[in-house]
Amino acid sequence: MKKNWWKALAIVLLLYTLIGGLLFDVPRLSILNETIRNQYFHVTMWFAMIIHLTGSLVFALKYLRSGNIEHDHKSIELANIGIMLSVLGMLTGMLWAQYAWGIWWSGDPKQNMTAFCMLIYFGYLVLRNSIADDQLRARVSSVFNIFAYAAMIPLLFILPRMTDSLHPGNGGNPGFNFYDLDSKLRMVFYPAVIGWALLGLWLAELRLRTRKIKMALEEK
């Protein structure tokens, strides 16, 4: 039971995020108003996504170094959770855009770069499913994982800052920290990041257990 304390923490933090995100007071910013509450979901999901994709990269590198197929299994399951969070982050971001900018998809540079990054990771999944041999699939997809992560950094964090963007912190726009001087958002924001990250880890663990059961049944 002691080993599962982090699962209970994930539930507590996400319940806190839901309650705090809906009920706690937030800064009254022009245009954003109450929609700023979506930051507790949209942005924190992206943070958790990056954490899981980073973990996936680490295990891909470990596989290439050791050849241990268990590392590849962990890499793909963390990538699956990261991709799931990217989809949820995109959907919540589009919802926010509709209220803040008046349109679901504005062609904003960060939206476009994010979509391109997601397509690269979707390609990673397609590549894995197209190779039958376990070791060959693990080697090729691990290399592609490194490429996908290396592409994600400039796509999400560098290129959008080099041109005009509606997103805070990009294209010359100040980030939320510039406005949020009373730290109201931080009271929920950081617990939400941890909560989503732990939930993703929990889901990845469940998927790994399911994978092991299927492999054991196939061997029989």
Q: What is the mean pLDDT of residues 70-86?
A: 97
Tokens of 156: 């999400």
Helices (H) and strands (E) in the chain, counts: 7, 0
Length of the chain equals 220
pLDDT at 50 over 50: yes
Tokens of 60: 């891909």
C-alpha distances out from residue 189 to 16, 35, 102, 142, Å = 10, 14, 25, 32
pLDDT confidence of residue 99: 85
Q: Note the pTM of the prediction, 2 decimals.
A: 0.90
162-218: per-residue pLDDT in tens?
A: 877 666 655 454 455 544 445 778 889 999 999 999 999 999 999 999 999 988 887
